[in-house]
Structure 1
């Protein structure tokens, strides 16, 4: 079988490791048995029938599979997967699909990675931030936006991770090239905006070997502070016409880390963006635009292209069920694509499977049934007499 489908990647696992989990399930199922048999046959033919190496390669054959866009381990949500010939269609998802993200962030601190995995760079005042400021700030990013990839990303220079340059305080061999992305919408969730009633604890400072908070050194690292804040082309044009202010006051740094509360105000928004957009960078820039700082604590990819987490997306739990349940649904998705409502089809398939299992159970004859005890006969007779008396 060949095609494209979407599955919900859970929090805490890398995209590649999760892909391997799905691959192992598919490879060990009978659903892909014919495809794997043909693949093994071709591998044997390539090495010759008597080749021990060919036999070893054939036995290790797995379902051909790839994904259409990485999700960090801290992120969850839609992961588009191509199987067999479907892998050839993944390029369109890697470079040309629209994505919808649900994001939560904490205001008042910045980290080296832009999320809760990194080390604290600085802590900033948040008392001046109002809900109206957040709502107005969101509008400044909607449209065509210049964005610099995070310093702590998958990018490397001269074979060395950018993270190491930052920690060592060394200059980069070359400038990180900014990219143009599209922010189609950015909607702030007002119900929990600036709330401290959440489960996220503000990251604690890391104490360096000499006994000083690491953030004191990191905050002086020009490499970590070099990102220029950009607003969208559309906002800048409007600001020029209406004579809006576009500069931003610098944040007020908190030097005494004991002043910072354990709970920080929450920023929660949904963003519809183009491929290549770094949500961590968007969160960081949002904090800067508020004359403060921010780092991401939660990210859910709710949509990618035509695939929607709430309708046509499988879960890992689905594939851990009997293959007679998920196999027919996956085949439908391969044939008809995103128009198949996976949630509804999986429900129907489960019901059908349970019915077939029930029908296949042997019916006991009177000779096979165990004799009832005298106590059971008495209870049954008593109930019958009660009905007759009524």
Structure 2
């Protein structure tokens, strides 16, 4: 799309084009359709004023410098329409139909409360024109009923436009929230990569490398006892390197499947924190959402190891017709909501990241206290083939 096309595709620019396009329609409607002559002298001044206003708003949108804020422009639209209607037949003018367009245009740009205000002003202006028009029954015997029906239609249009504005505002807020969430996910992904590299470097330097250096010194000693200790140190170093590689990339997930990968990471967390683990995975799950399920389960197990004080942790993955559910439950002290919020404010965003990754694929995430104590974390994700880049 060209730069001009992009400018004209914005809601404000679309309304500016509609204003300009309405001018010849107003002129034709006033000239071709017979209407009462009362108060019609001002039309030849009102239409040029509307033309100047329409062109000014159009040029402002082209230059990306709106003439005024959207609520002000909506009020100006109503005043000009009221002037044109008043001078081209009053409540019976063909131009009265323009009153119906203003609430819809307001719904595109304004929030529900302002849309309702603009709609009410439109109803009020038409009612004022109808009430003050001289000898309306001489124009139409059913003038009162006609004007009343027009007011009812305007009220209906205003209510519909307000509801439309509510829907559009809700969608705009959802889009903004998704954009913010996606931005946070990108930042978290970059931060997680940096943390993973730092943990790997620390694990290799503080554990595996120290064991290998100690083993080399023992081998240099040359006696049988030192050789046995060196062999033990080498075994520990190999184990630590394997654990570091597994943290970097869960190869078991690809080679042996989700259950084996979850069992390995759960047992490791259990050894570190001193709790027993039970892992159950429905056979029907297979590889569905495997990377996401494993990633979130690992985060939840790490949280349990650090904070729960649990004696036992259960990990379950269940399959249903609509999706896959991950449940990680412990018998520890239970989640402290205030502490969790404070931790997130300090930059510890593990649980928030789990929720955002689930929501990014159309799922849901919830953490709560168990009915018998401890903490229960649940994540549900749909089966649809959605990109799993959130994992």
TM-score, reference length from structure 2: 0.19
* Structure number with larger C-alpha Rg: 2
- Structure with the largest fraction of helix: 2
TM-score, reference length from structure 1: 0.20
